[in-house]
Structure 1
Amino acid sequence: MSAVPPKYQGLRSFAFGDGPELADALLDLVIKGVKTATCSTEDEPNTSTPGERWIVLDGRGEPACVIETTEVSYCRFGDVDAAFAHEEGEGDRSLAYWRDAHRRYFGRQGKFSEDMMLMCERFRLVEVFADHRVAS
């Protein structure tokens, strides 16, 4: 992680999504300020707490930026609201799009159910690393 400034070198890191293409697409939304929220199953190891900072990796596993968790809440899949779906920033930002995309995403992991519990996280972009280029 040589591209990571010294002040961030002790942070945990992760990539959004479940593959290089999705990781890059979601990272691009974060860097552009469109994506300010994410969710995961409550049993994933990347649970966060408010104030925690993370290094976000691109689809090649290279460090791209740092985000800071601002809020964490838990709710069932079916209880995610339109505001949260909009903050996730994906597709047309509608709740219908969010539900369809996340049914497929969690389905690929073999974890989907309509009443599954999710960790819903809001975050802010702290810094984009100088050598990272935003996709056009």
Structure 2
Amino acid sequence: MTGPLALKPFLLAFPGPLRDRLVAAVLAGEKVATTGLLVEYEVEKEDLPEAGERSALIDSDGREVAVVEITEVHVLPLGEADLRLALGEGEGYRSVAEWRAGHESFWHGEEMREALGDPEFVVDDGTMLVVEWFRVVEVLRLGD
């Protein structure tokens, strides 16, 4: 495949070591779910993803490395996150508490607060999440 795909980008975390780990987990088949904040979609004025939608998975260098297809989308409060989600995230979490601690650390980080334009942003049980379940439909060649 040559040239850029006509797909919207599928971005995990911010560019850097965390994104690199998450992209590797997707390509290895370990990560089949991702969780974002509903407020992120509102701030970006972005539509929620829909089942059947395909996107280009982007690595930290901005390269399209795979095509993923959304299989399920759920909007739910943080307090309803379950073990299926924690395991589906493919980041080695063994419990909802571990998953939540890892995600809260990310969501409370400076990059997220800057992205949301809210230096005081915090999550709680009622914070609305957007959970995307997906599958890799094509791995793209790297390094032309």
Structure 1 ranges of 4+ moved more than 4 A: none
Paired residue for 2:36?
40
Q: 1:19 to 1:131 in 2, by over 3 A?
A: closer
SS in 2 for 1:17: coil
Q: For 1:3 and 1:93, locate their aligned partners in 2 and report how far apart those are by CA, in whole Å.
A: 40
Q: For 2:94 and 2:23, locate their aligned partners in 1 and report how far apart those are by CA, in whole Å.
A: 16
Unaligned runs of 5+ in 2: 114-120
Unaligned runs of 5+ in 1: none
Contact 2:75 2:129 in 1 (8 A): yes
TM-score of the superposed pair, with normalisation by structure 2: 0.81
Paired residue for 2:14?
18
- How many residues get paired? 128
Q: For 1:72 and 1:118, locate their aligned partners in 2 and report how far apart those are by CA, in whole Å.
A: 10
SS in 2 for 1:60: coil
Query: Which region of structure 1 is more displaced relative to structure 2, 85-94 or 48-57?
Result: 85-94
Q: 1:41 to 1:92 in 2, by over 3 A?
A: closer
Tell me by how many angstroms 1:36 deviates: 0.2
Tell me by how many angstroms 1:93 deviates: 4.0
Query: Which region of structure 1 is more displaced relative to structure 2, 80-89 or 12-21?
Result: 12-21
Q: For 1:89 and 1:103, locate their aligned partners in 2 and report how far apart those are by CA, in whole Å.
A: 17
Paired residue for 2:52?
51
Tell me by how many angstroms 1:21 deviates: 1.2
TM-score of the superposed pair, with normalisation by structure 1: 0.85
